[in-house]
Structures are given as C-alpha cells and as structure tokens.
C-alpha cells in the first residue's frame, strides 16, 4: 500500500513539557476520503488532530503531507503548505461580515480568489444570502459553514475539522454532514474529529477509534459500525 | 428674537467649543482604542505621545515661521504637521521594538504592558520637558477667526455674537477627514481588514496567515498619526503645555471606555459625549437662561452647575456610571 | 552568598549612601550635610510607607492603583481637619450649612441607590433616578453655596477656611488613613471585579478629582492659598535655640545651636516615622504569612481557581485595596506633618503616583522589605539624579563657551531628566529583573 496523502505516523507527544497524551498514534487520510477520529471523552481525539496540525510537541513519530516531512513546521507554515484547519471554538471573526471572513481566509493568497469564493457560495448558498451580515449574528450551523468556508478559501490540499457539529441541533448536524460529503466529492481529503460517533462513522471512509491516546480500532466506517466490540464500547450497543 | 439670541449664545459658548473639543478627544480616544484592540492594553503613554508629536510640530512651525514660510490664512502648524507625524511614528515604532515586543513574545499579562507603558510615559514626558520645557507654548498664527462676533452681529442684527475660531474650523474639518480615511482603511483595504481580524480573533488571524508583527507596526503608525493630529489640533485651539497633555489621559480614557474599548466608532461617540457633558456642566447658563426665561425667573447667579476646575469630575462621573451600569460601553467593546 | 545576607547588604548599602550624604562632599553628588541626609531619609521613610501600601495592593493582590496621589492628598487634608484649630466664627457663619449640605448630598446619593434597588428596571427607574439626582444636586448647591461664601469671607487673607478640630497632630495620621480608606471603598465598589485596566483608570480619575476638590474648595483646604503653620508633634527650632539646657548639650556635642536644633527636629521625625514604618511593616509581614495573606496570593496567582473554590474574590480585593490605600493616606498625613503645610498646588501624579510605582518595582513586588528598600533607595536617586545630570551635562558641554545657548538650555532642562531616568529605571527593571532587588519568597 502506498503512502497516504496526509499521515500522522506513530505520533507520541503532549502539550509543552507536560506528560505524553498520545502514544504511537497513527492517523491518515487520502484524497476523496473522509477520515473520522472518534473515541470516548478524553481519549485524545482533538489532541491527535492538533498534533497533525503542529499545535503540540510530537516527540517521536512524524507528520507527512504529500510525502514531505512537515513535523517541524509551525501551524502557520502548515497552512501555507496547504492544510486547512477549522478549530472547534472561536473559529470565525464575529465582528466581521461573512464575506470579510472569507476574504481573511484567503489572506495568504496573492492571486485572484473570487472564483474560490463563488465555489464556497455555491457549496453554502445561505452564506451568499447573508454575505454582508456580521458573522457573529448568524445561527450556530451557519457559523460553522462560515468557518469551513473560511478554511476552504486557501484552496487547501487537506481540510481538518475539529468537532464541526459540537453544539448544533440534530437537523443542522445532518445538513452539515451533507455539506461535508459534498466538499469531499470535490476530491479534497477531510480529517474530522467527531463526538457523534455513529453519525460520523456512517459517512466515513476511514475511522479511527482512539482510547487513551492509542489507536484502539481502525477500519472503514462500515466495518467499525459492524464491529460488535466497537458497538458495545462506544456506540451504545 | 430672544430665542434666536439664546440659540446663538448657546452655539457660541457650548456647541461650537464642545464640537471642537469633542473632535480632539475623539481622535485621542481612537488612538487609545486601536492600541487596546490590537495590543490589548490601556496605553498610559498616549497623552505624552500626543505631547511629543505636538512638540515636534511646534518646533518646525517656529522654524518655518523664522524662514518666512506660512500657509496664508491657515496656521503654519499645518505645514509642520506631517513632519511631527513622521517623527512620532519613529518614536512609537522604536518604543514598540525596544519595549513592548519583548512582552508580546512572552505573552505577558495586560497589566505588565500597562506598567511598561508607565515607564514609556515617564521617559517621553521627561524628553518633551527636556527639549521644549514645561511651560505654555503658543504657536497658532494665520487668521484667528472664520467669523468674528462683531461681523456676525452686524450681519444678523442680533444682540449676541457668534465667533468661530479658525482652529475650531480646522479641528472639525481635519477630524472628519481623518476619521473618514481611517474607516475607509479599516473597512475597505486588505491591511485594514487584517487589523480588524487580528483584533477580533488573534488565534484565527494567525491561522489565516496574518502576520502579527506587521499588524502591530501598522497600528502604531496609525496611532502616531492620530495622536499627533489630535495633539496639534488641541494645541492650536488652546495651547501647548506638556502637563496638560498628560492630564488629557483621563477624558480620553473615559471617552474610549464610554464608547466601548476597542470600538473605533465608540471612541468617536465617547469623545463627543465626554466633551459635550464637560462643556455643558461647566458653562454658566445665566446668559442663555436670561433670554429664554421671563425676567422674574432669570437666575441671580451664574447658573453654572460646576466650576470649570471640576471638568475632570465630569469625565470621571460619566466613567463611573458607565462602569457601574454598562462596562462594555455604548458600542459593546471587548473588555469587561 | 545567602539570600538573607544579600538583602541585608542592600539595606546596608542604602545606609552607606545616606552616611556619605551626611559626611562627604566628594564625587560631586553628595552634599556632606547631615541636614540634607536626614531630609532625604525622612522623605525616604514616608516613601517606603507608601510603597508598602502599594505593594500590599499590587504584590499581594495584583491590583493596579494609579491614584496614590489622591490618597496621599487626602491624608494631607486630614492633618488640616484634625489638628488645625477651628477658625473663629466659621462654624456659626456657615459651617452648619456646609455640613447640612454634605449630609443632603449623601442622602441624595443614598436615595438614588435605594431607588435603583427597589424599583423595577425600566424607564421609570432611570427617570426617577435622574430626577432624584438633579433635584438633590440643586438642593445641595442652594444649601451649600451661602455657607461656603460665608466661611470664605472670614478673614480671607489668613483663613477663609473652616479650620479643624484642634486635636493632637499625631491623631491626624490614622484619620488620614480613614479618609483614604473611605475614598478607596467608593472606587473599589465601582471598578473592582472589572478588568485590571479599569481600576487603573478609575483610580487615576479619583486622584485628579480629590486634588481638584483640594485646590478649589477654599473653605475646606484654602485651595492654592495653602494652609501653613500646621501644628507639629515636635518642638520648634526657635524654642530649642532659646532653651539654655539644649544649647549647652549641643555645645557638648560640638554643634552650634541652630544646626543642632534642626538636626534634633529632623532626627525626631526620623524616629517617629521609623516607628510607624516598623509597626506597619510588622503588620504587613504578619498579614502576608497569615491564612488571609496566603489566600490573597492564591487569588492573585489563579483567580479562576480561587473563584471556583468559592472565594469571594471581589470582596477580598476590596479589603486589600482599602487597606493599601489607607496606608498611603497615613503616609500622606505624615508627609504634610513633616512639611507643616498643606500645598494642594504641588501634588503631581508623576511624583506622587508613578514614582511610588518605580519604588515598588525596583524594590521587589510582593516583598514588604523590598518595598521599603525601594522606597528609600529610589527616593535617594530621585533627589540625586538632578545634580548627577547637571554634572554629566557640564562634563559633556565643557568644550562649549560658558554662555553658549545649547549649554544654557541643557543645564536649565537637566531637572527634567529625572523623569526620563525614572522611566528608564522602571523599564530596565521590568525587563531584566522583574522580580526586583528583593524578590518575593
């Protein structure tokens, strides 16, 4: 099997000089795929994603993007390398309009980004409607769309979402997942941390179940959903 | 006729001085609020930065005057103003590199920044007194009035005169131009938007590839321009004295907080709220009341609510009310 | 070298500086006069007490008070109100009216607060409060103004103020503390619990207002006309010089009566101030070590955790803010006693607020001994930076003609270099030794 497009390979590490939170944890995603990280509270799901994005010390193991070792790069440099990241909270500029949020997403680009913006508006029609409204005035689901749209504006080679459905209603969650599938159909690899394991695994091409910072199970979404062990321990039977 | 006279007296003694003073405070408060929004601390050196910029402007004004260069009816200081701005820009950028950058890298608490700004305040204050001395300096020249009280009386046949000083006219015109430019910059340009983004959400701005050092430097440059313009206009309108500029800190801070720290629109609104209250409360209303009220009701005294010496008390009282009832200010600033 | 030895040596060094000031005229900056050494020491002791108060607020609780000048000035006012004899006729002329007006004013504010608490939120409440305050204000002025006029017209050249209670002057020191505590309570109630910057700005404001009251309310403090001839706790020099016993013992020590009497008085003050300083220092040390002090520092280090543990952070902050301000008030009263006059025109925030901050930062915030050391040392520097600056400028401009313009201008302006130097010292300490000369343990 060839090397995946983005891989966090056997990562071990923690925040600052603190204890290790991740142990030999491996996470990977390929173009056209949605990879989902699930697991119980405190399993290190978000931490694993932050490790891939360079927000904590990886003491052993490596992160590679398109075959290039980027373990030593800062998050900002990884953005320039083509990683789009949507944090879980404060992921929009609340006092700025929707359109300005998208413009800021494209800040590092020097070329004309109007067609990317059209694509984002095509993907999230509601944003086009509200583009001159302050992003902070939007509903929870719409804010998440702004956040994803902002990350898409850099034309990333991979999109990483940290619990995109945290705190939104089930209906909005379904809609958000539909949008994420649509984004994925454009060929963009998506790596996502999710609290709602069942729904997330349903749309996942690849699933990672973490327990205490280690890979406990991995496989396709369907495999994991079918696995009786996984069902029993994490999906509530 | 009496009503007109009352209106003219009101404009002459309250509205026009209030608007001019309000514009000066608004420009000062804009500087404080921008620093707060981007660097996240209350800059106690702002009054002295204003004094420094004004001082450079004054020195060049004198030099121009000695060389016979003048701006005709306008004050020569306007010609020297750009030099003052550039010098102040140099000063604040040097201070930022030498003092504040270190604490930014440390991610120090805001109160440490405030403390450092105290040190900077001391140094600039000493520097200004060292160069120009602690005394009063006048540097206004050109036409003194746009409309003289006597001309106005002759024109209208009213008993009350209306005088508009050139400095007041220039203050208001300049303030409008500067504020329009600033808002255009913040809302329409890429750099301006990146400043707003940085002020709104620092982490996300970093993720979007916005360079914080660049944002900070540009902020300082803008603040230097605002401070110098505010200081020079105030000096033209009243007079220049280093200590007065230090004391302007209080009304300027009050204006910024009343408007909502970090909100540029709020700073302007706050400036006018403070200035108008200060002028209204310390104005002797006897004259206006004399025109409006029947003779029997006219006040015996000056009908002055507070003596002018208590103008700081007005800023302070408003500040206290805002802190008690609406700590985020009129325009929902960032801080609580 | 152990910490204790090092810190003791620092104090010894300050002592040596003062000794040099008293004994030698060498090095260009020392004056070689015991008189001057004692003057510096006395103000240094007072500064140390102020620094102790500020350290209580900043070092223990992280509260940022930039209104020290105001609290100091209130202390000064306390001396006038406590120790001066009442101006004859002032009370019967207008004192009662003024008192009544002040009570009315207080009642108005109390009524407004009542209205705020009792009425439901809404337009009625806002209007009600405004009407109450406006009516109250006019009543206040109507009652107050004639009283003020009456008092101020009594012998305006010498008095024109209400005078005081004629009590012993030492009593004014605690009274100064009480006045400052009262002002601190008002400020604390308003601004504590908000961002630290807000407390700073609010204290800056109250200091300016206290000062403008002192400058303008002639009936209270004679304003810029100053109150002179305040009673003092020690004998007057003239009386000592006329006392044959004193002259004889002075001669024994080898002093002429004039010098001896000045030194005697200054030494007396130094002893008094040292006693106050030691008592306050002891109390501050006890407080620091007590459970209360530990809690304060815990709050300072992690306010959120302390709140989560159920500590009423704002209330604790209010306590320590009042205590610290009260100490500044005591120091202010002591200073006015030392000067034997209240001169509202000379209070300046750069000297009375920000300089104290330099003392605290240089000495070591969070350490009471550090504050004391910083107080005396920085005061010494404050006095000596000026001659030092003049010396340097003379050296630098020695090539120029005696009467050349730049030389004259520089020498004239040298005095302003002390602000610059103090700012530089503050910034350097903050950057390279932020814990100060005697750091917190």
Q: What is the CATH number of the domain that holds B210?
A: 1.10.3470
In which domain, by residue range, is B108 found? 2-254
Nearest CB among B111, B126, B323 relative to C423 is that of B126
Q: Whole-number mean pLDDT of chain B?
A: 90
Q: Which residues of A touch B208 (CB under 8 A)?
A: 79, 104-105, 107-108, 150, 154
Put simply, the answer to whether C201 touches B250 (Cβ < 8 Å) is yes
Q: What is the pLDDT of residues C332-385, one digit of tens each?
A: 999 999 999 999 989 988 889 999 999 999 998 889 999 999 999 999 999 988
pLDDT at B186: 94
Other C-beta atoms lying within 10 Å of the C-beta of residue A49: 23
Rounded-to-integer distance, Cα B268 and Cα B249, Å:
15
Instruction: Tell me whether residue B15 is in a domain.
Output: yes
> Count of CB contacts below 8 A, A vs B?
56
Residue B22 vs residue C208, higher pLDDT: B22
Q: Which residues of B touch C408 (CB under 8 A)?
A: none
Helix (H) or strand (E) run with residue A192 in it? strand A190-193
Put simply, the answer to whether A100 touches B204 (Cβ < 8 Å) is no
In this structure, are residues B123 and C423 in contact, taking their beta carbons and an 8 Å threshold? yes
Mention the CATH class of domain C3-85+163-432: mainly alpha
C222 touches chain B (CB under 8 A): no
Residue B299 vs residue C209, higher pLDDT: C209
Give SS3 for C212: helix
Instruction: Tell me whether residue B289 is in a domain.
Output: no
- Give B335's pLDDT tier (boundaries 50, 70, 90): very low
C431 touches chain B (CB under 8 A): yes
Rounded-to-integer distance, Cα C178 and Cα C188, Å:
15
B207 touches chain A (CB under 8 A): yes
> Which DSSP category does C350 fall into?
I
Q: What is the pLDDT of residues B92-149, one digit of tens each?
A: 999 999 999 999 998 898 889 999 999 999 999 999 998 998 899 989 888 888 888 8
Q: Which residues of B touch C121 (CB under 8 A)?
A: none
- Retrieve residue B199's tokens: 């002020």
- Give A236's pLDDT tier (boundaries 50, 70, 90): low
Which partners does chain C have (≥3 C-beta pairs < 8 Å)?
B
Q: Which residues of B touch A108 (CB under 8 A)?
A: 208-209
pLDDT at C1: 63
Put simply, the answer to whether B190 touches A92 (Cβ < 8 Å) is no
Backbone dihedral region of B139: left (phi > 0), alpha (psi from -120 to 50 degrees) or beta?
alpha
In this structure, are residues B266 and B330 in contact, taking their beta carbons and an 8 Å threshold? yes
Q: By CA distance, what is A78's nearest residue in B?
A: B207
Nearest CB among A94, A107, A154 relative to B200 is that of A94
Rounded-to-integer distance, Cα A59 and Cα A36, Å:
24
Identify each DSSP E strand in B163-262 by its residue range: 164-165
Residue C291 has pLDDT above 70, yes or no: yes
Q: Report angle CA B258, B262, B263 to the nearest 5 degrees.
A: 70
Burial class, C406, CB count within 10 angstroms (exposed 0-12 / middle 13-18 / buried 19+): exposed
Residue A1 has pLDDT above 60, yes or no: no
> Count of CB contacts below 8 A, B vs C?
139
What is the average per-residue pLDDT within C18-26? 85
Could you give the count of Cα atoms lying within 13 Å of C396 in the half-sphere of its Cβ?
A: 12
Put simply, the answer to whether C424 touches B120 (Cβ < 8 Å) is no
List the 47-66 stretch of C: residues with Cβ below 8 A of B.
Answer: 62, 64, 66
Find where tokens 């006018």 sit: B272
CA dihedral A66, A69, A72, A73 (to 10 degrees): -20
pTM score of the predicted model: 0.90
| Edge-to-edge strand list for the sheet holding A34-38 | A83-86, A158-162, A190-193, A34-38, A206-211, A214-219
Put simply, the answer to whether B196 touches A93 (Cβ < 8 Å) is yes
In this structure, are residues B87 and B224 in contact, taking their beta carbons and an 8 Å threshold? no
Q: What is the pLDDT of residues A119-161, one digit of tens each?
A: 999 999 999 999 999 999 998 889 999 999 999 998 899 999 9
Q: What is the pLDDT of residues A16-58, one digit of tens each?
A: 788 888 999 999 999 989 999 988 888 888 889 999 998 888 8
Q: By CA distance, what is A95's nearest residue in B?
A: B200
In this structure, are residues A99 and A132 in contact, taking their beta carbons and an 8 Å threshold? yes
Least Cα separation, residue B202 to chain A (angstroms): 9
Find where tokens 């009497």 sit: C261
In this structure, are residues C416 and B134 in contact, taking their beta carbons and an 8 Å threshold? yes
Q: Which of C54, C138, C197 to mutate to test the interface with B (most CBs of B within 10 A)?
A: C197
C219 touches chain B (CB under 8 A): no
Q: Which of C54, C139, C210, C419 to mutate to test the interface with B (most CBs of B within 10 A)?
A: C419
Give the residues across from A215 on adjacent strands. Answer: A210
Burial class, C62, CB count within 10 angstroms (exposed 0-12 / middle 13-18 / buried 19+): buried
Q: Helical H runs in chain A? A: 45-53, 75-81, 98-105, 114-123, 125-129, 140-152, 170-185, 197-203, 221-226, 228-234
Put simply, the answer to whether A107 touches B190 (Cβ < 8 Å) is yes
Least Cα separation, residue A173 to chain B (angstroms): 23
Which partners does chain B have (≥3 C-beta pairs < 8 Å)?
A, C
3-state helix, strand, coil in chain C (%, to 5): 80, 0, 20
Whether chains C and A touch (3+ CB pairs under 8 A) is answered by no
Q: Which residues of B touch C423 (CB under 8 A)?
A: 118-126
Nearest CB among C191, C349, C419 relative to B323 is that of C191
Rounded-to-integer distance, Cα C43 and Cα C379, Å:
7
Give SS3 for B329: coil
Buried b (16+ CB within 10 A) or exposed e, B77-112: bbbbbebbbbbbbebbeebbeebbeebeeeebebbe
> Which DSSP category does A2 fall into?
P
Rounded-to-integer distance, Cα A81 and Cα A65, Å:
8
Q: What is the pLDDT of residues C171-188, one digit of tens each?
A: 999 999 999 999 999 889
Put simply, the answer to whether B208 touches A79 (Cβ < 8 Å) is yes
Instruction: Tell me whether residue B313 is in a domain.
Output: no
Instruction: Tell me whether residue B62 is in a domain.
Output: yes
Whether chains C and B touch (3+ CB pairs under 8 A) is answered by yes
Put simply, the answer to whether B126 touches C137 (Cβ < 8 Å) is no
In this structure, are residues C128 and C115 in contact, taking their beta carbons and an 8 Å threshold? yes
Least Cα separation, residue B266 to chain A (angstroms): 14
Domain extents in chain C: 3-85+163-432, 86-162
Burial class, A67, CB count within 10 angstroms (exposed 0-12 / middle 13-18 / buried 19+): exposed
Other C-beta atoms lying within 10 Å of the C-beta of residue C59: 28
Q: Which of C55, C353, C385, C430 to mutate to test the interface with B (most CBs of B within 10 A)?
A: C430
Give the residues across from A29 on adjacent strands. Answer: A6
Give B79's contacts (C-beta < 8 A, 6+ positions apart). B60, B61, B64, B69, B71
Which partners does chain A have (≥3 C-beta pairs < 8 Å)?
B
Least Cα separation, residue B232 to chain C (angstroms): 22
Residue C205 has pLDDT above 90, yes or no: no
Least Cα separation, residue C435 to chain B (angstroms): 12
C-alpha dihedral sign at B79, B82, B88, B90: negative
Q: Whole-number mean pLDDT of chain A?
A: 89
Residue C42 has pLDDT above 90, yes or no: yes
Give C223's contacts (C-beta < 8 A, 6+ positions apart). C214, C215, C216, C217, C344
Q: Which of A95, A99, A106, A147 to mutate to test the interface with B (most CBs of B within 10 A)?
A: A95
Percent of chain A with pLDDT over 90: 45
- Give B336's pLDDT tier (boundaries 50, 70, 90): very low
How many domains does chain B fold into? 1
Q: Whole-number mean pLDDT of chain C?
A: 89
């Amino acid at each position: 099997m060839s090397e995946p497009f983005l891989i966090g390979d056997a990562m071990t590490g923690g925040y600052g000089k603190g204890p290790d939170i991740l142990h030999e944890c491996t996470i990977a995603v390929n173009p056209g795929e949605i990879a989902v990280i699930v697991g119980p509270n405190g399993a290190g799901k978000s931490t694993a994603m932050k490790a891939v994005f360079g927000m904590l010390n990886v003491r052993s193991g490596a992160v590679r993007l398109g075959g290039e070792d980027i373990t030593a790069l800062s998050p900002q440099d990884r953005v320039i390398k083509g990683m789009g990241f949507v944090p879980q909270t404060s992921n929009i500029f609340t006092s700025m309009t929707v359109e300005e949020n998208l413009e800021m997403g494209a800040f590092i680009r020097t070329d004309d980004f109007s067609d990317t913006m059209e694509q984002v508006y095509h993907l999230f029609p509601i944003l086009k409607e509200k583009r001159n409204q302050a992003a902070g005035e939007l509903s929870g689901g719409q804010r998440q769309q702004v956040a994803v749209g902002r990350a898409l504006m850099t034309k990333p080679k991979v999109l990483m979402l940290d619990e995109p459905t945290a705190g939104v209603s089930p209906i909005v969650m379904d809609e958000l997942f539909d949008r994420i599938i649509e984004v994925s159909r454009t060929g963009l690899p998506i790596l996502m941390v999710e609290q709602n394991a069942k729904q997330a695994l349903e749309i996942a091409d690849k699933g990672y179940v973490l327990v205490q910072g280690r890979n406990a199970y991995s496989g396709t979404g369907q495999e994991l959903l079918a696995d009786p062990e996984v069902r029993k321990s994490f999906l509530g039977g | 006729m009496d009503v007109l006279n009352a209106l003219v007296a009101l404009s002459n003694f309250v509205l026009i001085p209030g608007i001019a003073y309000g514009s000066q405070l608004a420009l000062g408060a804009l500087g404080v609020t921008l620093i707060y929004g981007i660097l996240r601390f209350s800059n106690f050196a702002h009054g002295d930065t204003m004094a420094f910029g004004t001082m450079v402007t004054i020195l060049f004004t004198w030099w121009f005057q000695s060389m016979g260069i003048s701006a005709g009816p306008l004050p020569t200081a306007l010609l020297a103003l750009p030099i003052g701005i550039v010098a102040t820009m140099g000063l604040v950028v040097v201070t930022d590199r030498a003092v504040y950058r270190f604490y930014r890298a440390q991610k120090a608490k805001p109160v440490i920044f405030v403390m450092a700004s105290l040190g900077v305040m001391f140094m600039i204050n000493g520097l200004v007194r060292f160069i120009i001395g602690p005394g009063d300096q006048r540097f206004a020249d050109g036409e003194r009035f746009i409309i003289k009280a006597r001309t106005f009386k002759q024109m209208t046949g009213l008993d009350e005169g209306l005088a508009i000083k050139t400095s007041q006219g220039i203050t208001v015109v300049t303030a409008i131009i500067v504020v329009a430019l600033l808002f255009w910059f913040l809302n329409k340009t890429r750099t301006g938007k990146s400043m707003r983004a940085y002020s709104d959400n620092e982490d996300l701005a970093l993720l979007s590839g916005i360079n914080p050092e660049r944002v900070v430097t540009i902020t300082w440059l803008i603040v230097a321009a605002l401070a110098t313009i505010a200081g020079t206009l105030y000096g033209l309108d009243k007079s220049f004295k280093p200590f007065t500029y230090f004391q302007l800190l209080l009304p300027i801070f009050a204006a910024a907080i009343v408007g909502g720290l970090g909100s540029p629109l709020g700073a302007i609104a706050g400036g006018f709220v403070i200035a108008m209250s200060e002028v209204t409360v310390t104005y002797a209303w006897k004259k206006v009341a004399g025109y409006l009220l029947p003779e029997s009701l006219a006040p015996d005294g000056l009908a002055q609510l507070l003596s002018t010496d208590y103008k700081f008390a007005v800023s302070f009282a408003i500040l206290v009310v805002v802190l008690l009832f609406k700590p985020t200010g009129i325009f929902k600033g960032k801080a609580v | 070298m152990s910490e204790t030895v090092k810190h003791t040596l620092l104090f010894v060094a300050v002592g040596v500086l003062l000794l040099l000031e008293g004994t030698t005229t060498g090095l260009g900056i020392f004056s070689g006069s015991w008189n001057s050494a004692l003057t510096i020491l006395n103000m240094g002791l007072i500064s140390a007490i102020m620094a102790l108060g500020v350290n209580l607020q900043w070092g223990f609780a992280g509260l940022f008070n930039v209104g020290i000048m105001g609290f100091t000035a209130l202390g000064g006012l306390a001396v006038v109100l406590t120790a001066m004899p009442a101006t004859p006729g002032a009370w019967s002329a207008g004192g009662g009216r003024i008192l009544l007006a002040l009570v009315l004013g207080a009642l108005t504010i109390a009524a407004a607060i009542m209205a705020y608490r009792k009425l439901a939120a809404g337009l009625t409440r806002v209007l009600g409060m405004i009407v109450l305050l406006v009516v109250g204000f006019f009543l206040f002025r109507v009652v107050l103004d004639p009283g003020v006029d009456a008092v101020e017209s009594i012998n305006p050249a010498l008095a024109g103020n209400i005078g005081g209670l004629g009590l012993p002057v030492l009593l004014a020191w605690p009274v100064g503390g009480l006045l400052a505590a009262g002002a601190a309570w008002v400020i604390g109630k308003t601004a504590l619990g908000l961002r630290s910057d807000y407390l700073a700005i609010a204290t800056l404001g109250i200091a300016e207002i206290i000062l403008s009251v002192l400058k303008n309310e002639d009936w209270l403090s004679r304003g810029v006309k100053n109150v002179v001839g305040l009673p003092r706790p020690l004998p007057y020099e003239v009386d000592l010089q006329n006392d044959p016993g004193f002259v004889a013992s002075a001669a024994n020590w080898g002093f002429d009566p004039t010098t001896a009497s000045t030194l005697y008085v200054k030494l007396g003050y130094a002893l008094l101030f040292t006693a106050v300083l030691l008592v306050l220092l002891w109390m501050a040390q006890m407080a620091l070590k007590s459970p209360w002090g530990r809690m304060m520092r815990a709050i300072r280090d992690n306010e959120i955790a302390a709140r989560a543990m159920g500590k009423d952070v704002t209330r604790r902050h209010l306590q320590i803010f009042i205590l610290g301000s009260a100490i500044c008030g005591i120091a202010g009263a002591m200073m006015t006693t030392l000067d034997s006059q209240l001169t509202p025109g000379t209070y300046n925030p750069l000297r009375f607020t920000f300089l104290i901050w330099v003392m605290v930062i240089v000495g070591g915030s969070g350490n009471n001994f550090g504050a004391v050391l910083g107080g005396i040392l920085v005061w010494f520097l404050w006095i000596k930076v000026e001659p030092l600056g003049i010396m340097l400028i003379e050296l630098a401009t020695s090539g120029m003609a005696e009467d050349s313009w730049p030389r004259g201008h520089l020498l004239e302006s040298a005095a302003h270099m002390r602000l610059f130097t103090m700012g530089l010292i503050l910034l350097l300490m903050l950057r390279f030794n932020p814990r100060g000369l005697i750091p917190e343990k």
